[in-house]
Structure 1
Amino acid sequence: MKLNWKPRICMVKLLCTWLRRMGAMILLGCFLLMNGMTPLHLAVWYSLLYEDCSTVKTLLESNADCSAEDNEGITPINHLSKGSANKKLRELLYSHLEEQRKRKAIEACSETKAKMDELENELSNIVGLNDLKTQLRKWAKGMLLDERRRALGLKVGTRRPPHMAFLGNPGTGKTMVARILGRLLHMVGILPTDKVTEVQRTDLVGEFVGHTGPKTRKKIKDAEGGILFVDEAYRLIPMQKADDKDYGLEALEEIMSVMDSGKIVVIFAGYSEPMKRVIASNEGFCRRVTKFFQFNDFTSDELATILHIKMNNQTEDSILYGFKLHSFCSVEAISRLIQRETTEKQRQGMNGGIIDPMLVNARENLDLRLNFDCIDTEELRTITLEDLEAGIQLLTQ
């Protein structure tokens, strides 16, 4: 029997052609993936060549990202030509892109609500400072709305938080607010980290020529991505120069030189009146520092509120962890106690600095009045108004 080899030869040729084509496809696919392309990029490219949308459809049903960019910033949709030959593919991609944008917007909305709730929880621990709280809400809400705008495919510019000055007496919460601010600005995406680098004059100013610049630049480097908090900033500019070897102004100028870089947020803090020297010492200060917040002295009611907040937010490493206030220790009762046992001058001199030592003294008074044979668990851990009174009297003597 004579075999007909012609069909077999044709099949072999077709098989070789197919293998060559597939080999080329595989090599090209590897090259494209190395260029940062996703499987959807490659599927769109294949569909344009062979008018087969099945792979694209399968990937989209598995929620492949239509807006993913390769190393050159090209999305799968960017591969489409403007001709009508790709109408089916175009409709398919744009339809899924719109669905994905809506889904991302819904997810962003849920995340936004959670972050705003977290913001409000943090702000609830700040007593007073309503102007600052309003500003924080503006920044946070703006950033979170930008997240939603981007999720919907809108192009929006990057926000940059302003540099600030916190003005007020000691104990008014400037350092505490700076730490909270660091966490909040990081939470809403304004800052890449939540670190707050706290410095004073001694951390920045050297004792001899050529020492201050490197010392200050090191602290600036440490603070990159977060907040540089310059406490008692007025000490950089002495009221009267004892000699010509004071390098505080050099440290200030080093800080001012990086404030336009966007790498850090700087907060200058100090008494209101002496801070005027810092403002006047550099003509670019008010151009760079655009937000000034006044930290007023706390009233007796506010100090009592701070005491309650502290008792309700004790951590395990606190000396007061596990203790609680007696039911008679209301905000009103503690406010009357503080008003009675302290002078206005003492309150202005210490402000919130009264609270921690007052509570420590109160706990020691509780220990003093209890007997060793006491087995009442409530009595063992309850601080009374009598204890608080003894605590503040010891503090103000």
Structure 2
Amino acid sequence: MSTIHVGGIVVFGTRCKTLEEAFAKAFQGDEIVLHKNIFLNTNIPLKNGVILKGNGHTITTNKKQYGFIAIGIRAEIEDLTIKVSKQSAAIYAENSNLQLEHVKISYAKSNYNAREKFNVIQMVDKKKPTFETGLGLYDCTIEPSILINYVVKVQIVSSAIGSYTAKMSGIRAEQIISQNNNYINVFLNGKQTFSEDDTSHGNLMFMSFARITHLLGKIDLEEQKVTNKELRSYVEVQNTDNALLNRTCLVRFNKFKGQVTDLQFSVGALGSLADNFSLLEIMGNSDLTIKDSVLPEGRALFYQGNLALENTQDELDWEYSPTETTVANRNSTSKLFNASQNQQQSAIEKLNTLIGQTTVKTRLKEIISTATMQNYRRINGMAKNDSDSQFSNHMVFAGDAGTGKTTFGKLVAQALYEGGVLKENKFVYAEVKDFVDKYVGATREKAHQKVMSALNGVLFIDEAYGFAEQPGSTSHNHEAIQQIITDMEANRDKLIVILAGYTRDMKEFFASDNEGLPSRFNTWIEFENYSVNELCQIMQLQLDNQGVLYDEATLSILQQGVAKLSEEAKTNGRSNGNGRFVRNYVQKVLESRDTRLAENISEINNYDANRKAQLLNMIIPTDVKRAINTLHDQYQIFNS
């Protein structure tokens, strides 16, 4: 290893006049040390294994050029200030690993407009790397934006990234490790992100998966000495960068899954930012848990997804979409829990509104209550935290088609999420074919991947009796069952499995004692067929939800049709006269109506808008009778 000096008076080592000359002479393991400030007329290709030591000096890039280029190398830069000219960048890297320590990057002048400000570090992996590509920033200050695209690893420690005058910085990587940093206008998108002791001064957004500890959202324009000129530049940047969403938020979660522990906020002087400012935003169908936090009064936006508050005191003033959000209370307080009647219904409330299945509702409420209280005792330190002490919540839903097994399964998933039993409001529907592969040895992996896709939620396997091995069969069903059980046992506190199917077939399947299934699924819930009165209620609900109009005479004929056709729908000793029958019946009625309307459309067009809307949405006795006759003929064919 040798040392190459650029400028200065050198007693030992090699001296070069220019940085270009120094890199031309350098080999892997060498160090290049600056003894003067440098203006780069052209870009400098970094070399593999060469360390550039700025020695406290400054390099200024030429406009419309990169400062340094790295292609497929590892390199280090230390103790250097880089001033970036307009339409310029400090570093461009492909398939490389760069480590920066005590490096500061800023604009050469403060008067560049938004279109003249480029990403000053641009990194990308354009092919599968042969080593761990990525970026390390240690005790660095980078005021302009950076763009790191799909590298292997990014580690940022004790650094400051971004500014109000810079557009959004984007960091995408397989893994992001962030410790003790200050961020402004940055998003972190890692398949695995670990954040500890970080601070957002505005527009820090987390995407994908993250575990976050002690995150502070802090803004005080006076303390930060943000000038009016910088605020005007910030408005300009917002208008040209869609990623900033034309508003200021301290912390955002977008398309996110994960947990933040000890989330804090501190708000001082906001100046002109006060008009469209929020502390917290949750969007993009995120799945977020906030734990052990105290959230002060202030605006918060909840657009879409699931939010669980655990041991958290929440005083935020929430604006939210009731139909797109779910909230779980885990030993916490929040205005969300006491929101107005517009709040989305809880799973238990939804359960109560469903038609029929009184016995099923009662049994599920018992199961949900037991699981929820057991979790409550665990949170409060009154129960063991190991999986061996957990009750088994795996279930069997048995009954004919159309009795609501799938609907009830989804509500179980939501209820156990709301009660803190499950970490995610996740319901994965599957069939036997999703677990069994036609190739020898491939079934275990296929089954394992399917089970893992439901981790932290509910796995609902419909027509599960299909796993039964038939005499002379060459299927790999037995292998699939073995793998499902293995994964169930390994994830007892993270997964609930529901097996569903016809009662007779499920009893035969369990009687064969497949790998000890009966002992693992000790909750059997029987779904009864709907009565004619319940089917009529379901029919009316479906018609009303579609805005269909009808009078009393038409309703009477509709109900007569339900009574007649639901019996005819029964085939092979299994009732098809349940929810699916009602859907088919309503569909046939509406098809009959539309056929009639199509024959008279020219006459309908002569009416005003109100009358036209009424005619287009109304069904009459003729429509119902035609639908009844059509389905009657169809069932006669099936039953023959």
Aligned partner of 1:308 among 515, 519, 540: 540
Conserved 8 A contact 2:568-2:632: no
**1:246 aligned residue (469, 475, 482):** 475
**Which of 346, 364, 388 is the matching residue for 2:591?**
364
Higher helix share: 1
Work out the CA distance in 2 between the residues paired with 1:126 and 1:224: 27
Residue 509 of structure 2, aligned match among 268, 278, 284: 278
Pairwise CA distance, 1:161 = 6.3
Partner-residue secondary structure (3-state), 1:131: helix
2:570 aligned with 1:346: yes
Partner amino acid for 1:128?
A: G
Give, in angstroms, the shift of residue 345 of structure 1: 5.2
**Worse-superposed segment, 200-209 or 337-346:** 337-346
> What is the aligned partner in structure 1 of residue 618 from structure 2?
382
1:290 is matched with which residue? 522
Distance 1:383 1:121, change over 3 A: farther
C-alpha separation in 1, matches of 2:477 and 2:401: 21
Match of 2:548?
323
Distance change in 2, residues 1:183/1:394 (3 Å):
farther
Distance 1:389 1:160 in 2: 53
1:227 is matched with which residue?
458
Aligned equivalent of 1:135: 363
Q: Which runs of 5+ in 1 are unaligned?
A: 1-29, 40-66, 70-99, 314-320
Instruction: Give the drift of 1:144.
Output: 6.3
What is the CA distance between 1:198 and its match in structure 2?
Answer: 1.7
Q: Assess, with a 3 A threshold, how the Cα gap between structure 1 residues 363 and 154 changes in structure 2: closer, same or farther.
A: same
Give the 5 Å matches for 1:144-293.
155=382, 162-238=393-469, 240-243=470-473, 245-260=474-489, 261-262=491-492, 263-279=494-510, 280-293=512-525
Where do residues 4-43 of structure 1 align in structure 2 (5 Å cutoff)? none
**CA contact 2:347–2:412 (8 Å) conserved in 1:** no
**In the alignment, residue 122 of structure 1 is paired with which amino acid?**
K
**Distance (Å, rounded) in 2 between the aligned partners of 1:290 and 1:219:** 23
CA pair 110-176 structure 1, distance change in 2 beyond 3 A = closer
Give the C-alpha shift of residue 326 in structure 1.
3.5
Deviates most, 156-165 or 294-303 = 156-165
Alpha-carbon separation, structure 2, partners of 1:234 and 1:203: 14
Indicate if the aligned counterparts of 2:554 and 2:620 stay in contact, CA closer than 8 A.
Answer: yes
SS of 1:228's partner is: strand
2:403–2:578 Cα contact (<8 Å) kept: yes
Q: 1:144 to 1:204 in 2, by over 3 A?
A: closer
5+ long unaligned stretches in structure 2 = 1-179, 181-195, 199-212, 217-290, 294-312, 315-329, 634-640
| Counterpart residue type for residue 563 of structure 2 | Q
The residue aligned with 1:355 is 582
Over aligned residue pairs, what C-alpha RMSD do you find?
3.8
CA contact (8 A) 2:430 2:461 kept: yes
Residues 233-288 of structure 1, C-alpha deviation per residue, up to 9 Å, x if partnerless?
A: 111113x3224x22112111211122232222111111112212331332521221
When normalised by structure 1's length, the TM-score is 0.63
Q: Which has the higher strand share?
A: 2
Listed as ranges, the matches of 1:39-54 within 5 Å are: none
Tell me the percent identity.
24
SS at 2:562 equivalent: helix
Distance, in Å, in 2 between the alignment partners of 1:37 and 1:338 is 59
After superposition, the Cα gap between the structure-2 partners of 1:218 and 1:107, relative to the gap in structure 1 and judged at 3 Å, is closer
Question: Could you say what secondary structure the match of 1:259 adopts?
Answer: helix
The Cα of 1:394 is off from its aligned counterpart by 1.6
